[in-house]
Structure 1
Amino acid sequence: MDLPVDAAIPHVLAALAPEGGRCVLQAPPGAGKTTRVPLALLGTLPEGRILMLEPRRLAVRAAAARMAETLGEEVGRTVGYGMRGERKVSCATRIEVVTEGLLTRHLQSDPALEDVACLVFDEFHERSLDADLGLALALEAAGALRPDLRLLVMSATLDAEPVAALIGARTVTSEGRAFPVETRYRTHPRRTGERRGDPRAIAALTREALAEERGSALVFLPGEREIRACAAALEGCGAEVMPLYGAMPLAAQRRAVAPAKGRKVVLATSIAETSLTIEGVRVVVDAGLARRARFDPGTGMGRLVTEAASRAEADQRRGRAGRTGPGVCFRDWTRAEEGAMPPFAPPEIATADLAALALTLAEWGSDALPFLDPPDEGRLEAARDLLRALGALNGRSVTPHGRAMAALPLHPRLAHMLIRAPGSAHLAALLSERDPLREAGVDLEVRLRRWGDPAMAPVRREAKRLERLRPAAAPPPLVPDGDASPSGHPGRPSAPSSGGALSLAFPDRIGLRRKGDEARWLLSGGRGATMRGDEALAGERMIVAADLDGAGREARVRRAMTVSEAEVRALHPVAVVRLCEWDRRAGRVVAAEREMLGAVVLAERGWDAPPDALARAAFEGVRALGLPGTKAVRLLRARAAAAGRDLSDEALLADPEWLLPWLGEVRDAGAIRALDIRPALEARLGWEGMRALDAAAPPAFATPLGRKVPIDYGGEVPGIEVRLQELFGVAEHPRVGGAPLRVTLLSPAGRPLQVTTDLPGFWAGEYAEVRKEMRGRYPKHPWPEDPAGAEPTVRAKRRG
């Protein structure tokens, strides 16, 4: 049967004909690129294999099976496949379809790819981390070792120009042959509290679609949990309901995509967006959501987030309704909402854990690879920090232990554990596979006790494979005698314990229980963690958290094990730290010697700290509580400000040296509040500084009677308050620093009468009105007609 891509194949072959030929093929879903193009390459390429990369296992098997069927052969002859733990090839195999991660390991062991004539990156628009890394490594290898290596990048929705520019390729575009698909949006916005993609709402929309349209339905949901909820709500819908997600057994996945006798509803994750054609599908129902892995380098934690799908993803899903005939796509969002959806999903390299990437780059010996989107340097350095903690890197150079880790098909954490802890293959398998016993709660030990359950069969198989891959000469960890008891689990030694082995993989997630009744721990990496109080581990003093939800102030523990302190001390370096610091909660100086596992305090005892350390800790208390201030201190600081000397809080709290000599006996908040810092401020200014300050901003004004009136420097201009009679005879206005003082003239009772910065002008003007009013109110006090020529006084008139 002719397929749309057939017309484009001659152009692809022409681009790849020369040695080192490169091409980017844009072809929409259903064009036939995955199965037609590799077969067409067979007859044109010289000896050597075609290695084609697919993002998912199901797509690997399906593509290999379809191409083998086209040739009338069994899989494993001309066309074979490979993935983690499974490979079906022979000496006759020319096309091998593999998962993307296998290319990286192939390049590490054989950088020249001696037996490969052409690399094909299929569904590159998904922008997985392995695909981006594989392309960057392939370009590096081709430039240095294999100039004749051909590269073909195939994509459905990707903007081809940046990729073509990166690899120096010709772009070929194929038209699709999709049947028309009608798109139906929600007609009204969601009500308050109603969320997009609610499984019950999607089930109701699916029932509506089945009633209105013919054929089977493909329903897109973000994850397994939503699929199960939607399946329950679709019970009795009149069609066979079949889930489809990555963690399902292969046989169940095959049944979901196989032709059905009657109508069926396939509830799928993004696994069904590309590479698969499900026969009989005429209806697509799209919840408009996608689940993505997000990594927070600040916490060292990854989590799965459910967010709006991109418009490109929505278009891919819509196209599944038109693969074999006209169809209808029902979207659980309004047309107006579509404008707010991102155009493309973010590349995985921008959001995922980069530990494996950092190890690969270190082993490769270069960070400067030609990435389409280079990894963020800050996040990459956080990944290197983890690898250094695991002993995989020394600086940026890979260690022999790091090379052994990189050779294992595991996350670096689990690879480190597998090498260092004999018998830990069961844990490595359990953590690298999907959790088969989610209902078992947080405690991983429960899963190990149920090792023989049928649901654990995939984990058992993976454990056996990993045990075979474990280096035979791996050094055993040190564990204390008698600390780890025999476990009785298949293939597990008595030491280290499972919790001890797990701590090797997650040294930053060893948790010590916080005080109180709640199930809360402080993790060695500095983050908090919590779990429900009814979990089996809720009362444990120490745990190792293998799986955390990084959202919120404290991470929620999803999978963990208990571990003893003795074993933690034996397996991990414990630092003895002496500290002298201000305890904000207690409001006092604390001097202690602590045994620390990262941020966790395993033991603490008092420490006789030196005086300088005690004083500096007390100064931190001053910073926390604020500078104490008496009236004299406030006056001194105001004078300094008026004279241009900086005694502000900012300046004083930035430099502890001026106050340290006065903090020798200060140990708590009460002592800080009672502290008189005036001598320290005067010492900071020095003798010459105080003389200059007295000249520029004297503390007081001397009245004609010799009485010293404090000058207030707190306003816009300095000022004094003085009885009016005390300034009799003053013919010039009082000044400070060359500027007139603000003089508040008081009545004999001390009440303000007048504020002036021109005393001679007041005597000549307003005084007459003040005298007229005050003579009647205070007849016993002098009110001369000529105040400028009168004698100053603070007394009443003598009785005549």
Structure 2
Amino acid sequence: MKSRQTVDTALPVVQCLPQLREALRQRGCAVLVAPPGAGKTTIVPLALLDEPWLEGRKLLLLEPRRLAARAAARHMAAKLGEPVGQTVGYRMRLETKVGPSTRIEVVTEGVLTRMLQADPGLEQAGAILFDEYHERSLHADLGLALALQARELLRPELRLIAMSATLEAEPVAALLGDAPVIRSEGRVYPVETIYAPPAGQERLEVSAAALLVRALHEQPQGDLLVFLPGVAELRRTAAQLQRRLEHAGASVRLLHGNLPLEEQDAALQPDPQGKRKIVLATSIAESSLTVEGVRTVVDCGWMRVSRFSPRTGMSRLETVPVSQASADQRRGRAGRVAPGACYRLWSEAGHDRLPAAGEPEIRQSDLAPLALELAQWGAADASELKWLDPPPPAALRQAGELLLRLGALDADHRITAHGRRMAELGGHPRLAHMVLRAVDAGLGPEACLLAALLGERDPLRREGGGRPEADLRLRFEALLGRIPPGHDLDPSAAARIRRTAGQWRRAGRVQAHASVAVPRDGGPKNRDGGDLLSDGGAMQQDGGAISRDASDSSDQSDPSLCGALLAHAYPDRIAQRRGTGRYVLSGGRGAALAELQALSSAPYLVVVELDDKGEESRIDLAAPLDQGRLERELADEMEQAVHVNWNRARHAVEAREQLRLGALVLRERAAHHIDADVRLGALLSGIREEGLQLLPWTRPLRQLQQRLCFMHASDPPAWPDASDEALLGELELWLGPFAAGMRSAAELQRVQLREALESRLSWQERRQLEELAPTHVQVPSGSRIPVDYGDPAAPVLAVRLQELFGLRDTPRIGGGRIALTLHLLSPAQRPMQVTRDLRSFWAEAYFEVKKDLKGRYPKHYWPDNPLEAPPTRRVKPRGS
């Protein structure tokens, strides 16, 4: 076999191939840990082609990135002296180069998932190699979980290998059934690490360019690889370098996933004129790829990651520090061919504060694609599969709710026919749903262009720098050749978007039929060859289908359709204007445009991107949508109902017939025919909201409430609780029958509140209440003094001292069990003494009190023996 003739015996991984072969023969699984440059990506697949257990089947090599997949396939094919597509080929979303004789297929992660979904047993494959598994992408974790179940239930002979340079091997080995861990020592040349933190707060590209110039002079040999977080930083750093390196004799190349293939090749290959090459790269160059000739690495220490917020249901790109593991991967790029150097744009102390490893994508990503894959696989619960890190339940539940809303799942969370079409089309479920709905309405080309646009970086640039306006239509029009004044269109980004749109169209054509077979050569074909996404007559459909208005042009794409199309992809991100440039989303969250622009006056927006910061997020990308089209496109999402609420400003029940989309009220009008029970419920809710003070309380009624509270405190099981909290909690029971038909605080003044309160008591309890908790107590002077039950534990009788002459003991209530708390008052009704033991007061305190009172009220009667003196309500007793 050619594989034996093409293995480079000088590469370190060759030394561990016997162990790997033995592990796969005996155990069927293995974990291979080999440093960068050891040759694992290209040597291992070629070396395994002769294995007897393969029995002529294919090897699938999973690569996390498209660029690395192409490079690995081309490198292995070159070793065999063949073009890609013969023994070695690759397969990635919407791009395939394989043939009938292909034995090694390098596939990207989503493609492996598609292959497993189409053929759960993977009958044509003998082994799957998960390369760079340490990156822990969402699809890699899902692919491994599906492959493990397929191996357990259908194909026990299927071999699985996890390969990485920085992998923590033991947990992965345990997941693979205690698979053997094989380590390659590698051929590592010494790499000097130089820490060079920036001197001040200068921009990243300025610091990076300065450090790069230093490295270029201090390291006179070899090419340089510079790691930056994103494309914008690559370009700005390149601009800085052009000003600094005019006479350095070095060429500058960019390397990122959105570059055309020929530009990627130029970055990977030596400079054709023999110049020193400076490659400015994103984290795409961190692993798998070999950038030839690199002996110096400049690492800026940042990377761009996508973070999903379950709070808002949105993903956002964040620039975060690299992990120590990623920094080591990058450093290793400098020692693959000779001794090298790694310059780090941070301090050695700062390195110790970096996280040890990156966060697995499954913990921080939008799980809608994963949830759709699980539903298609038939896994009712994610726990049915084996995971290194299981998907977070809250994020997975939120993803399921979105799929239910898009019609991909039914009420039992099983995949629907529409959901299967979405899964087979690929891409994010939101975009797949939009494209399929558009195909049904004859607007496939527009939807495919939008889907491609949203899947790539922004192609529109404002002249002189700065962020373009948030209006997505500007990008759409620019791609159609109508570039807005004051803007430029990035030609490479635009070309990639147009290519991707064409791939969406081809994939969509396949999905327009219920039964589609993917042939072995990977070419997407359907049975009649019809192009259901070709430009043609538009269809007008009912039931919320996307459609052109009668005035729309039918012979060219119409930017005004952007909002209508996007409404189907983002039904949960409809925004309603509540002020110039300020909006509220259908989920209730606030959002705003960063500056005054054309979109600022749009009544409705479909928001595609938010920064998800603060209480009012910044809208970064959106398209306008008029209300009529919104109601037509999302008719199934609308709720039309009568909403009966308490209007606190008017202190009245208000009934409005509303058309709502989530938190948004699209239309409303007064409703006149309201169900009596619903109206009563709103009235009682208003009382709960504002309090019992809405009811017609009088002092006797408040005393009645307090007397009931006193009885409940003295005998809780026998008497109902009449506290404000208890009454508010049981309004329906005691107040409801007396407030029926009422709708405002004014009408509540007619409530027979005494009857309502006493309705909680039986006839016998009402009689007992008068006996045990009297409203008044008659004192020796003949006065009937009201009892204050404000404190249920200690009712108070406030009475002038002179009216109690002759009374030996404290009056009692509650059947004689409770002594009243006496507030003994002066002739001027001021408290002079508080007691619950009147007998002791006469014997001990009266004479001191008498001295004071006699001095202040000399005309009043203050006997020496109060127990023998006649009580009086006057200054002196009659006859004195």
**TM-score, normalization by structure 1:** 0.90
Equivalent residues of 1:483, 1:566 under 8 A apart:
no
- Find the residue that maps to 1:753 and give its secondary structure: strand
Partner of 1:138: 147
How do 1:318-357 and structure 2 match up within 5 A?
318-338=331-351, 340-357=353-370
Which of the numbers 476, 491, 495 marks the counterpart of 1:448? 476
Which of the numbers 288, 295, 300 marks the counterpart of 2:308? 295
Which of the numbers 659, 665, 678 marks the counterpart of 1:595? 659
Partner of 1:405: 422
CA distance in 2, matches of 1:34, 1:245: 20
Q: Displacement of 1:559 after TM fit?
A: 2.4
Partner of 1:486: 552
- Find the residue that maps to 1:579 and give its secondary structure: strand
Q: Displacement of 1:431 after TM fit?
A: 2.0
- Find the residue that maps to 1:151 and give its secondary structure: strand
- Find the residue that maps to 2:721 and give its secondary structure: coil
Distance 1:593 1:700, change over 3 A: same
Partner of 2:686: 621
Which of the numbers 427, 430, 436 marks the counterpart of 2:459? 436
Which digits, 9 at most, give the CA deviation of each residue in 1:171-197, with x for residues without a partner?
Answer: 112223333334455779x99xx69x8
Distance 1:329 1:782, change over 3 A: farther
How do 1:211-360 and structure 2 match up within 5 A?
212-214=218-220, 216-238=223-245, 240-260=251-271, 261-338=274-351, 340-360=353-373
- Range moving further from structure 2, 720-729 or 250-259: 250-259
CA distance in 2, matches of 1:480, 1:326: 61
- Range moving further from structure 2, 783-792 or 255-264: 255-264
Q: Which amino acid aligns with 2:803?
A: E
Partner of 1:703: 779
Which digits, 9 at most, give the CA deviation of each residue in 1:625-653, with x for residues without a partner?
Answer: 23317655654444444432533444333
CA distance in 2, matches of 1:696, 1:199: 86
Partner of 1:534: 596
Pair 1:15-2:23 in alignment: yes
Which of the numbers 50, 53, 69 marks the counterpart of 1:43? 50
CA distance in 2, matches of 1:185, 1:743: 84
Q: Displacement of 1:601 after TM fit?
A: 2.2
Distance 1:665 1:565, change over 3 A: same
Pair 1:101-2:114 in alignment: no
Provide the aligned length of Structure 1 versus Structure 2.
791
Flag structure 2 segments of 5+ consecutive residues without an equivalent: 1-7, 463-467, 482-490, 514-531, 533-538, 714-719
- Find the residue that maps to 1:789 and give its secondary structure: coil
- Range moving further from structure 2, 691-700 or 106-115: 691-700
CA distance in 2, matches of 1:630, 1:119: 83
Pair 1:567-2:567 in alignment: no
Which digits, 9 at most, give the CA deviation of each residue in 1:476-523, with x for residues without a partner?
Answer: 743699735435675x489x9343222222222233323x3x223333
Which of the numbers 644, 658, 678 marks the counterpart of 1:580? 644
How do 1:38-117 and structure 2 match up within 5 A?
38-44=45-51, 45-117=54-126
Q: Which amino acid aligns with 2:48?
A: L
Q: Displacement of 1:298 after TM fit?
A: 4.1
CA distance in 2, matches of 1:170, 1:476: 61
Distance 1:799 1:236, change over 3 A: farther
- Find the residue that maps to 1:312 and give its secondary structure: helix
Which of the numbers 491, 496, 499 marks the counterpart of 1:461? 499
Q: Displacement of 1:679 after TM fit?
A: 5.1
CA distance in 1, matches of 2:425, 2:127: 26
Identity across matched positions, percent: 49
Q: Displacement of 1:607 after TM fit?
A: 1.1
Partner of 1:731: 808
Q: Displacement of 1:781 after TM fit?
A: 0.7
Equivalent residues of 1:214, 1:282 under 8 A apart:
no
Q: Which amino acid aligns with 1:310?
A: S
Q: Which amino acid aligns with 1:461?
A: R
Partner of 1:721: 798
Partner of 1:502: 566
Partner of 2:520: none
Q: Displacement of 1:24 after TM fit?
A: 1.0
- Find the residue that maps to 2:82 and give its secondary structure: coil
Q: Displacement of 1:326 after TM fit?
A: 3.7
CA distance in 2, matches of 1:78, 1:504: 43
Q: Displacement of 1:149 after TM fit?
A: 1.2
CA distance in 2, matches of 1:31, 1:337: 29
CA distance in 1, matches of 2:851, 2:756: 51
CA distance in 2, matches of 1:733, 1:662: 40
CA distance in 2, matches of 1:162, 1:783: 94
- Range moving further from structure 2, 671-680 or 593-602: 671-680
CA distance in 1, matches of 2:677, 2:612: 40
Equivalent residues of 2:196, 2:344 under 8 A apart:
yes
CA distance in 2, matches of 1:320, 1:419: 44
CA distance in 1, matches of 2:742, 2:351: 64
CA distance in 1, matches of 2:769, 2:263: 88
Distance 1:308 1:757, change over 3 A: farther
How do 1:573-722 and structure 2 match up within 5 A?
573=636, 574-583=638-647, 588-608=652-672, 609-628=674-693, 632=700, 635-643=703-711, 644=713, 645-657=720-732, 658-664=734-740, 667=743, 680-685=756-761, 687-704=763-780, 705-714=782-791, 717-722=794-799
Q: Displacement of 1:122 after TM fit?
A: 0.3
Q: Which amino acid aligns with 1:318?
A: R
Q: Which amino acid aligns with 1:768?
A: F
How do 1:379-390 and structure 2 match up within 5 A?
379-390=395-406
Q: Displacement of 1:776 after TM fit?
A: 2.1
Q: Which amino acid aligns with 1:373?
A: D
Q: Which amino acid aligns with 1:40?
A: A
- Range moving further from structure 2, 728-737 or 337-346: 337-346
Q: Displacement of 1:265 after TM fit?
A: 4.3
Partner of 1:33: 40
Equivalent residues of 1:54, 1:123 under 8 A apart:
yes
Q: Which amino acid aligns with 1:406?
A: A
Distance 1:751 1:134, change over 3 A: same
- Range moving further from structure 2, 135-144 or 699-708: 699-708
Q: Displacement of 1:5 after TM fit?
A: 1.8
Equivalent residues of 2:31, 2:161 under 8 A apart:
yes
CA distance in 2, matches of 1:607, 1:793: 65
Q: Displacement of 1:350 after TM fit?
A: 1.8
CA distance in 2, matches of 1:57, 1:385: 31
- Find the residue that maps to 2:243 and give its secondary structure: coil
Which digits, 9 at most, give the CA deviation of each residue in 1:515-540, with x for residues without a partner?
Answer: x3x22333344444322343322211
Which digits, 9 at most, give the CA deviation of each residue in 1:759-795, with x for residues without a partner?
Answer: 2111111211221222122111111111122221121
- Range moving further from structure 2, 524-533 or 30-39: 524-533
Pair 1:551-2:613 in alignment: yes
**TM-score, normalization by structure 2:** 0.82
CA distance in 2, matches of 1:208, 1:789: 112
CA distance in 2, matches of 1:325, 1:584: 78
Distance 1:211 1:719, change over 3 A: farther
Which of the numbers 762, 768, 774 marks the counterpart of 2:853? 774
Partner of 2:188: 178
Partner of 2:526: none
Which digits, 9 at most, give the CA deviation of each residue in 1:286-326, with x for residues without a partner?
Answer: 44433322223443322223334333223323333333344
Distance 1:576 1:796, change over 3 A: same
Q: Displacement of 1:211 after TM fit?
A: 5.5
How do 1:365-380 and structure 2 match up within 5 A?
365-367=378-380, 368-380=384-396
Q: Which amino acid aligns with 1:707?
A: R
